[in-house]
Structure formats: C-alpha cells, structure tokens
Amino acid sequence: FVRCLILSQNRAQLVQFDRAGTQLTAFYDIHTYPHIFMGMLLGLTTTADDRAYLGLDDTLSWAHGRNGRKKSGTLTSLSPHGLRVLQLVNIGPISLHRHIRGSGTVCWEAKDKASGAVYLVKDSWSSKGRTPEWELLKRANDKGIKGVCKMAWYDPAVVDVSDFRCASTVNDFFHRTASRVVIEISGEEIDNFETRSQMIRALRDVIAAHGNLYGEGILHRAISNKTILLGAKDAKVGDQGILMDLSLAHDYLSATKSDINKEPILAVRFFQSCAILDFLVTLNDDESRALAPAHDYLDDLEAIFFV
C-alpha cells in the first residue's frame, strides 16, 4: 500500500492506495484540528525503521552502490525447510502489473546460491473466495500432470487487505489476499521457439496438459503467449511445452453453479475467444449479460489456436 497526504493552506486529507482501491479520510481543517494534522504527519513520517509500515515488502533487501542506485538484491521466502534467501538475478522484476487496484502480480527471477537452481518467484493478490494458485498447482503436481509448471514451494505467510484498513470499512471493499509461489523455471516463452517442430510439440503438450487439468477440475482461463513456455532442451513428450499461471484458473470442483462469474476476466484480450470479445461489446446491456455463457474449455482452446 501507499499512504500520502493531500494538503492545502486550510485542509488536509489522508489517502491510502492498495490492491482493493482507495481509502480516504474526511477533510480536516488544520487550524481547527491541529492535533489531527500532527497525528497524520507523525503517522506518515515516524516508522521506527519498519519498512512494512510504509507499505514496502520487507522480504526484499537491496545493496546500493556509491551513487545510491541498487546494484543487487535478495528475496527471503519461507519454505518447508525454513527461511530461504534467494539472490535476485535482475534488479527489476521480469513481469509486473502496473495497476494499483487488482492482483498486483509481480514476478522475480531468483537463484539459490547453494544449489544453483533458478526459480520464478510470483507475488500476487488473489480475490477472496478464489482457490489460491498454490493449491491448484499442488493438485496438478500431486496428480503428476505433465506439461504444467512445477511448484517448488509456496510461502504460507498470509496478508489480507483488511489487515491495514480501518476495521469499520471491512464491508466496503473487495478483499484480496497476498500469496507467494516459487516455481521451477523450465524454458523460455514460446515466442522464442527455434524450429516449427519445436513450437508444434510445445503446443501439443500444452493442449494435453490443459485437458488433464480440466479433468482435475481446473479451467485455466488465461491462455496467452506469456503463459506457455518451451520445455527444457532434453524434455520428453509431455513436458516439451509447459503451461503456467493458474492465478485466474477456475476450480469448478469446489464451486457451485452460482459461483461461476460470467464477467470477462482480465486476461490478454488479443488471445481471448471471439465469444468473449463479442460479450465485451455488449457488456453494458443487462439482457445480454444475463444470457452470456461462462468462460469454458472451448474458449481456452481457441486462445491456444491464436497463440
């Protein structure tokens, strides 16, 4: 989250931006209520060296050069074997959502110095009530489904938006819960294929993986060129294409018919099916919205075709 102060010559207002949106205090006359104004200033400037109080991720640590710029960083995650400190491969994330409100997904490439293993560390804020991505990945990995990214571990530390919002406003915003998943990196994005046969083999295995996920009650719903990876160079049939990112997947085994959201999800529009795009055109038509079908496996297969 980010907190800031809107200040004029007479009034002040405290603003908080987080993954649920914006929260505002009332405007206070700084001359009539100087004690409230001073409380706002102290709250924003006095942190007792607690970076989390400022809304920063205190699991990220940075080393700075003489010019004050970041030169390296580490990421601390709680694995089943205790705290793991991973070295960030790059100063910046390899992927991030720039929207303030929403999932706020950030992906880091990190390396374990001891083993040399390279991981994708994914931080995101999922909607309350949605099956967490780590649960879906664990189900897929436990079932031995080929062609699905392998989860190394997940960080069980749970933070909810309501933890840093006013208790009296709990029912006024949409809850989101933070999660961290550490995933084994297999290969590059499918855009970087070297031969046509390599691309076709990757798509074949991804289609098979998608079908096997669906058989276990998981519908992906966010197929794009960024969620399909090439397998490792020595990968066998079944793992020559890797499907990743189950953050928007629907767990239809644990949901009732009334739980299925017919609103178009925020996937990459370029790869969404014609049926979903047609629905977007009539999004403001209540009658059309009521008749719209929910996203299903055919929409995903069409997205793979577009890839």
CATH of the domain at 284: 1.10.510.10
24 and 75 inside one domain = no
Question: Does residue 134 form part of some domain?
Answer: no
Q: What is the pTM for the complete model shown? A: 0.81
User: Tell me: the pLDDT tens digits for 88-104?
Assistant: 998 888 888 778 887 88
Question: Does residue 11 form part of some domain?
Answer: yes
Domain range for 254: 188-307
Task: Report residue 86 as tokens.
Answer: 């991973």
252 and 285 inside one domain = yes
pLDDT at 230 over 60: yes
pLDDT at 30: 92
Question: Does residue 121 form part of some domain?
Answer: yes
Question: Does residue 215 form part of some domain?
Answer: yes
Task: Report residue 214 as tokens.
Answer: 């669906």
| Percentage above 90 pLDDT, the chain | 28
9 and 96 inside one domain = no
Q: Quick one: pLDDT band at residue 146, thresholds 50, 70, 90?
A: very high
| Percentage above 70 pLDDT, the chain | 88
43 and 123 inside one domain = no
Q: Could you give the number of structural domains in the chain?
A: 3
18 and 113 inside one domain = no
215 and 116 inside one domain = no
Q: Which residues, in sequence order, are CB contacts of 214 under 8 Å at separation 6+?
A: 297
Q: Which of 57-66, 151-160, 235-244, 264-273 has the lowest mean pLDDT?
A: 264-273
249 and 196 inside one domain = yes
Question: Does residue 135 form part of some domain?
Answer: no
